[in-house]
Amino acid sequence: MLKILIAGGGTGGHIFPALAIAKALEKKAAVSLLFVGAKGKMEMEKIPQAGYKINGIDIAGYNRANLFKNFSLPFKLIKSFWQVNQILNNFKPDAVIGVGGYSSFPVLRTAQRKGIPTFIHESNSLAGKSNQLLAKKVQYVFVAFEDMQKYFPQEKIIISGNPVREEIINNKISKYEALEYFGLLNNKKTILILGGSLGAKSINNAIAKNIASFSDNGLQLIWQTGQHTYQQYKHLSEGTNSFCIQAFIEKMNMAYAAVDVVVSRAGALSVAELCVVKKPVVFVPYPYAAEDHQTVNAQYLVQKNAARLVKDNEADTGLVPAILDLIQNVALQETLSKNIASLAKLNAADMIAEKILETIQ
């Protein structure tokens, strides 16, 4: 039985592709899988919920907002390398896959020093610094966008797309069933508000400030606020059956089936999923993502007339008018839906799994 270790996490954008790759590997070979993530991060909860074992290491990212919080970073990094060495010695993997996030770098770097085959999945259109450093010694770099040779050796690049969860690719849930699941009516247009797994301040503020605009126009909302701000907004659904407000949406296949239009950050996973589900979308890219890669992700679709974009600093006044304009324009919805569907990659996880197994078997 092959042993494969998957490292990374931090956000759903890293965790869910990792799970998709894991499931694809299990379908194609007899494998024993182990995940490694950062202690205190979302993967330590989501990976076990999906039925997999995960080991946590003491690692954190560079804090750009509060430089004093970086004082302990070198000590955590040293400790994480020691922890990773122990994990690799105990598990003895045949291959290590890095999907991004704090924990990827020490795991893949240590694996490379031990001569273990390593692979990277780079989900964004702007490659992370850690992945660029690691790429010189990996077997392959799986990417979601074209023109990534400026970051990685050309001969190691495989354009796979971003892995999307199987339940989203093969979603057979009807709109009626999905609306009933969220407690909403079947005769109203419905909008899905997403800010990523951690929430989005600009999006949340704009929706809360203009919440009456949706009721006035006979619209319904499914709104993921993020764990940290749910308490701040949950009261807005009291006394109405038009707003379903949740901290985190566990069943995204239900949410996608229920709605007509989506508002979202432009993380790589969100972009990949929205291409698969063919939904008209208004992107509000998070401007403080590394090298503003979310804006680049969104612009890639906007240039193909496959999405609309509202800048984060214009969301307060511009987001709700953009939503209302789109939800009332059926022809535009159809155009965006058709164009975004043409960009979907449905076999990313299978392609990645097959190449890894082919390389190490």
**Structure confidence by residue, pLDDT tens digits, 74-101:** 556 677 889 999 999 999 999 999 998 8
Which pLDDT does position 359 carry in this prediction?
Answer: 96
Determine how β-strand 54-57 pairs with β-strand 95-98: unpaired
Both tokens of 112, joined, read: 């490379």
* CA dist., res. 33 & res. 21, Å (int): 11
72 shares its domain with 190 = no
Tens of pLDDT along the chain (361 residues) come to 999 999 998 887 889 999 999 999 999 999 999 999 989 888 999 999 999 999 999 876 544 444 445 445 555 667 788 999 999 999 999 999 999 887 899 999 999 999 999 999 998 888 888 899 999 999 999 998 888 999 999 999 999 999 998 999 999 999 999 999 999 999 999 999 997 667 799 999 999 999 999 999 999 999 999 988 899 999 999 888 899 999 999 899 999 999 999 999 998 889 999 999 999 999 999 998 877 889 989 999 999 999 999 999 999 999 999 999 999 999 999 999 999 999 999 999 999 999 999 999 8
Beta-strand pair 157-159/190-193: unpaired
pLDDT given at position 228: 85
Domain of residue 48 covers 2-163+346-360
Give the C-alpha separation, 53 to 48, whole Å.
Answer: 6
- Asked if 98 and 104 count as a contact pair (C-beta separation under 8 A), the reply is yes
Q: How far is CA 81 from CA 61, 106, 138, 333, in A?
A: 14, 6, 18, 49
CA geometry: angle 95, 15, 157, nearest 5 deg: 50
Task: Give me the residue label for tokens 């001969």.
Answer: 155
180: how many CB neighbours lie within 10 A of its CB?
14
Q: Are residue 335 and residue 352 in the same domain, yes or no?
A: no
Q: Beta strand 220-224 with 190-193: parallel, antiparallel or unpaired? A: parallel
Taking 3-state DSSP, the helix, strand and coil percentages for the chain, each rounded to the nearest 5, stand at: 50, 15, 35
CA distance 270 to 275: 9
Q: Edge to edge, what strands does the sheet with 95-98 contain?
A: 54-57, 31-38, 2-7, 95-98, 118-122, 140-143, 157-159
User: Do 105 and 32 share a structural domain?
Assistant: yes
Please tell me the predicted confidence (pLDDT) of residue 103.
85
Q: Does 271 share its domain with 247? A: yes
Structure tokens at 126: 């702007």
Same domain, 317 and 351: no
Half-sphere exposure of 96 (CA within 13 A, CB side): 34
Same domain, residue pair 206 and 184: yes
Do residues 261 and 139 share a domain?
no
Are both 185 and 143 inside the same structural domain? no
Indicate if 212 and 325 belong to the same structural domain.
yes
What is the chain's Cα-based Rg?
21
pLDDT at 14: 87
Sign of the dihedral defined by the CA atoms of residues 107, 111, 113, 119, in that order = negative
What pLDDT score was predicted for residue 196?
64
Question: b/e per residue, 98-133, with b = 16+ CB within 10 A?
Answer: bbbbbbbbbbbbbbbeeebbbbbbbbbbbbbebbee
The pTM (predicted TM-score) of the whole model is 0.84
Dihedral, 141, 144, 145, 151 alpha carbons, nearest 10? -30
Q: Which residue from 128, 101, 127 is spatially nearest to 44, judged by alpha carbons?
A: 101
Measured in whole angstroms, how far is the alpha carbon of residue 281 from the centre of its chain? 16
pLDDT value of position 323: 98
231, 129: one domain: no
pLDDT for res 218: 96
Structural domain count, the chain: 2
CB atoms within 10 A of CB 315: 23
CATH classification of the domain holding 57: 3.40.50.2000
Helices and strands, counts by H and E, the chain: 16, 13
- In a shared domain, residues 155 and 189: no
Rounded to whole angstroms, the Cα distance separating 56 from 58 reads: 7
352 and 273 in a single domain? The answer is no
